[in-house]
Amino acid sequence: MPEYTTVFGSLERYEKGRVEIINDQAQHYAFSNIFEVASQAQPYEKIAVAKNLEYVVEVLRAEGRSDWFTATHDEFAVVMDGHLELHLVKLDDPASVVSPDTQGSVRLQGPPVGKPMGWLKLRRGHQALLPAGAAYQFLAEQPCVILLQTLKGPLTVEKWADICAG
């Protein structure tokens, strides 16, 4: 019986993924290496690496202090590499910050107005809910990788030709 070893990727050490087709059409599949995508991204650029209708999974390279973001719907973050702090503020009037029909996350023009909800220290494998109507900010002293499940929105960057090539 063959022996298998699980190897966790990171920004510093990863192997590029590949597409393996099993009796199907290639356009039905898009595999990407989140660490490679993050290694080539600008800090807090929200790059889509998976898509299902209006839903996306975005990769973010967390490095330094992010701007403040919010969304009209819940978002979900998973730290895939490194560690960071996540700060949350319950907005006093979310509708004055972003239109209620806006999908995806939006960048706030300045610090949020509202009641601090607290902060979390997150490491590889930790998950956090980014609740609707709250503002959030990341702080990472060293580069790390976040997967963010959200709706496709104005900050979603699609680089499918770059991600899927080669």
- Can you give the pTM of this predicted structure? 0.83
For residues 76 and 52, the model is more confident at 76
Cα 59 to Cα 65: distance, rounded to the nearest angstrom: 16
CATH of 26-160, one of 3.40.50.300, 2.60.120.10, 2.60.40.3500, 2.70.180.20: 2.60.120.10
Supply the DSSP string of 42-89, one letter for each residue.
Answer: PBT-EEEEEEETTEEEEEEEEEEE---EE-SS-EEEEEEESEEEEEEE
Name 45's Cβ contacts closer than 8 Å, sequence gap at least 6.
60, 61, 157
Backbone angles phi, psi at 76, to 5 degrees: -135, 125
pLDDT band at 29 (very low <50, low <70, confident <90, very high): very low
- The whole-number average pLDDT for the span 18-33 is 52
pLDDT in tens, 127-151: 999 999 999 999 999 999 999 999 9
- The whole-number average pLDDT for the span 79-92 is 97
Contact 83, 140 (CB under 8 A): yes
**Which phi-psi region, left, alpha or beta, contains residue 68 (left: φ > 0; alpha: ψ -120 to 50)?**
beta
Domain residue extents for the chain: 26-160
**pLDDT confidence of residue 13:** 75
